[in-house]
Amino acid sequence: MRNQEVVQLINGKGLRVDGRGLNELRPIKMEVGILDKADGSAYIEHGKNKILAAVYGPREAHPKHIALADRAVVRCRYHMAPFSVEERKSPAPSRRELELSKVIRESLEPAIMSEYFPRATIDIFIEVLQADAGTRCAGITAASLALADAGIPMRELVAGCAAGKIEGKVVLDLSDIEDKKGEADLPVAFMPKSNVISLLQMDGSLSEEEFRQALDMSTDACRKIYEMQREALRQKYHVAKEETEEKEEIGEVEA
């Protein structure tokens, strides 16, 4: 049963339901390389979102006929666990999951240097374990880390963050209740070094000026998230200088 009580999304002090200011990100935690079998993996907690991303590849193309002659095929699956949302969601892929799988693949594939692996595949799996709005953006953030963790060459990392409008005000990083009761949702994926947007969707109602504000808010937030991604990689791969000297010589194998 839906809660009929009227919720004030922004209180008298300009604070949101979870105490955030209009331009404030939810708390974010990232960890790289947490799965054993996947070639690359990452886990992200973004607000109450809990999302796992894993990458297998480059690996042999199965079935063979999907392979491309000049670069790797990139496959992406965005999927939500049945227990990830308030009302149990059927495990079968929904139309929404199919659409998101597509737009997420389109946001990551351009960053992958897939021309290095002709006739192979690179598979990206995003599993939403707990959802609280902004899952595709957080999924992209985690998937970028998983790709880097797998050692797949990329032009740069991709960071994702949504903005929106609630009670007439443009705000950053909607939570679930804000997405459900708000007036607009604008998910964005951004590559800060190249200053380009690779995912952009919107639903709701925004004037042109509100849209510009929301876009700037989300790209700025993506820059912050990008720094967190870099830090997460550094944490995982902190390497002592001494050890690296041993890597210099590739010894001959005695057959």
Partner 1 sequence: MSTTHQLSPVAKLEQKTVVDLILKGKRMDERSPLDHRPMTIMLGIIEKANGSAQVYLGKTKVLAGVKIEIGTPFPDTPGEGILTVNSEFVPLASPTFEAGPPDENSIELARVVDRGIRESKALDLKKLCIDPGKKVFMVFVDVYVLDHDGNLIDAAAMAALGALVDAKMRAFKVENGEVKYKDEIIPLPMLNYPVPITSAKIDGSIVLDPCLEEEQVMSCRLTVTTDKNDQICAMQKGGLGYLTPDEVKQIVATSIAKSRGLRETILSKVK
Partner 2 sequence: MTLHTERKQLVGPGELLAEGPYFAGENTYREGGKIFASRVGLADVIGNKLIVVPIKGAYIPRIDDIVIGRITDITMSSWQVDICAPYPALLPMSETPIHRGREGGRRDLSEIYSVGDLVLAQVIAFDRTRDPLLTTKGRGLGKVNSGRVARISPAKIPRIIGKKGSMITMLKKETGTDIVPGQNGVILATGRNPDQERIAVEALYMIEREAHTTGLTDRVKMFIQERMKGRNVA
- Judged by beta carbon, residue 169 or residue 236, the one nearer partner 1 is 169
Q: Which residues touch 210 (CB under 8 Å, ≥6 apart)?
A: 165, 170, 184
SS3 (DSSP) at 33: coil
Q: Are strands 73-80 and 120-130 parallel, antiparallel or unpaired?
A: parallel
Residue 9 near which of partner 1, partner 2, none (CB within 5-8 Å, type-dependent): none
Of 24-32, 95-103, 166-174, 225-233: span binding partner 1 (CB under 8 A): 95-103
* Helices 208-236 and 135-149: angle between axes, nearest 10 degrees: 30
Q: Rounded to whole angstroms, how far apart are CA atoms 142 and 148? A: 10
Which of residues 104, 140, 157, 166 is near partner 1 by CB under 8 A? 104
Classify burial at 191, counting beta carbons within 10 Å of its beta carbon; exposed 0-12, middle 13-18, buried 19 or more. buried
Report residue 94 as tokens.
Answer: 């929904």
Q: Does residue number 172 form part of the binding site for partner 1 (CB under 8 A)? A: no
Of 7-15, 44-52, 94-102, 228-236: span binding partner 2 (CB under 8 A): 228-236
Type of residue at 236: K
From 123, 192, 117, 122, select the one nearest 156 (Cα to Cα): 192
- Judged by beta carbon, residue 1 or residue 255, the one nearer partner 1 is 1
Q: Does residue number 253 form part of the binding site for partner 2 (CB under 8 A)? A: yes
Name the residues that contact partner 1, by CB under 8 A.
1-2, 66, 68-69, 72-77, 95-96, 98-99, 101-106, 109-110, 114, 123, 186, 191, 194-208, 211-212, 215-216, 219
Name the residues that contact partner 2, by CB under 8 A.
39-40, 57-60, 69-70, 72, 111, 113, 117-121, 148-157, 191, 193, 230, 233-234, 237-255
